[in-house]
Amino acid sequence: MIFPTEKFSQIHTPFYYYDKSLLEQTLDTINAEAGKYEGYKVHYAVKANVDPTVLGIINGKGLGCDCVSGGEVERCLMSGFAPSKIVFAGVGKADWEIELALDANIACFNVESEPELEVIDSLARAKGKIANVALRVNPNVDAHTHKYITTGLSENKFGISMEMLDEVVDKALALKNINFIGLHFHIGSQLLEFEPFAMLCSRINDLQDKFEARGIALKTINVGGGLGVDYVNPDKNPIPDFATFFATYNKNIKLRPGQELHFELGRAVVCQCGSLISRVLYVKNGLNKKFVILDAGMSDLIRPALYGAHHNIENITSAETETETYDVVGPICESSDCFGTDEVLPLTHRGDLVALRSAGAYGQIMASNYNCRKIPASLVL
């Protein structure tokens, strides 16, 4: 990626830089690939990034949005998303969040338990409304991803287990202010293989047969998100393989006539267009190591500290030809505040700018005020 570093002096480091053209190309690819198949609709999983400009671009390209909190629903409404394109998931929706979504007339609640169904029914009744509901099913598919971001195994807190589904469906059908319209799934995030998605399709096909046998028609099947990105070679693979992703579903899922297939992609939409830009404060010699100390820390990008995640580190202003090996660390008082060990970089000096790549998803949005630090700003160019 070529960084417009000449424009970076207008803003304090650390900040998040988003490459507008890459984001647009990514969205165009999604639309072209999903558009090949009848009834495929993509909702952007807002949890990955809520920068208002980014949201505006995504809305402009016609995607819907998938929210997991009342705050996200508010952000999406503020960014101009039509309520009819907003779905709302989450294992613990508070009453005020449900009420806010009911008042906005969102498209669908993805419901994760029987008690939640009862609460939505009673809050909807009090407002004289009928809530569209999809039930989130836990399909017990192993997504082969990090244990913190796998969500489809049976002992997860998410969704309703297959064994208990019939009972919850009966309940949904019996409640007067609930309109049961579909099923929702999400098996995990940062999946780099397509096989788990195919496996999910086969689980869905079995379930659909059962529903059909009971005479229940489902309007939507929502398969969640999960498509991973290449954190190691972001320049080689700036746009994830959406063609294979949608083709995998098309090949494996048996939709009923008129049925919609919904997707909730987060990371794959925004990850590669974003980088955390930081300035080198000091280069410090240790006994056996050299440290590059950045002005960005784990409060700005927590993924390495939290998940041991890898983000490529690039010195984007150095003119040096010689290289050196460094540990690249932040200023925060925690040993886990480290972005990379034994990183080979051009000879690095105080004042150089460093990019932490592939940080557009779950980067800025997971930033905190730890150590009374400021939330990094955004620059979308």
Residue from 226, 234, 297, 376 binding ligand LLP (CB under 6 A): 226
| Shortest Cβ 323–ligand LLP spacing (Å) | 29
Residue from 109, 197, 249, 362 binding ligand LLP (CB under 6 A): 362
45 binding ligand LLP? (CB under 6 A): yes
One character per residue 249-268, x = contact with ligand LLP (rule: CB under 6 A): ---------------xxxxx
Q: How many CB atoms lie within 10 A of CB 346?
A: 16
Q: Which of residues 291-350 bind ligand LLP (CB under 6 A)?
A: 303
Contact 130, 177 (CB under 8 A): yes
Structure-block tokens of residue 209: 């047969």
Give the single-character DSSP code of 180. Answer: E
Name the residue nearer to ligand LLP (CB basis): 75 or 267.
267
C-alpha closest to that of 93 among 76, 59, 118, 75: 118
Per DSSP, the residues of 22-76 read HHHHHHHHHHHHHTTSTTEEEEEEGGG---HHHHHHHHHTT-EEEESSHHHHHHH
Contact 17, 3 (CB under 8 A): yes
| Shortest Cβ 48–ligand LLP spacing (Å) | 5
Contact 54, 267 (CB under 8 A): no
* Listed ranges 120-128, 183-191, 212-220, 339-347: which one lies at the site for ligand LLP (CB under 6 A): 183-191
One character per residue 186-225, x = contact with ligand LLP (rule: CB under 6 A): x--xx---------------------------------xx
42 binding ligand LLP? (CB under 6 A): no
| Shortest Cβ 239–ligand LLP spacing (Å) | 14
Question: Going by DSSP bridges, is the β-strand pair 108-111/131-138 parallel, antiparallel, or unpaired?
Answer: parallel
Identity of the amino acid at 45: A
Rule CB under 6 A: which residues touch ligand LLP? 45, 48, 66, 89, 149, 151, 186, 189-190, 224-227, 264-268, 303, 362
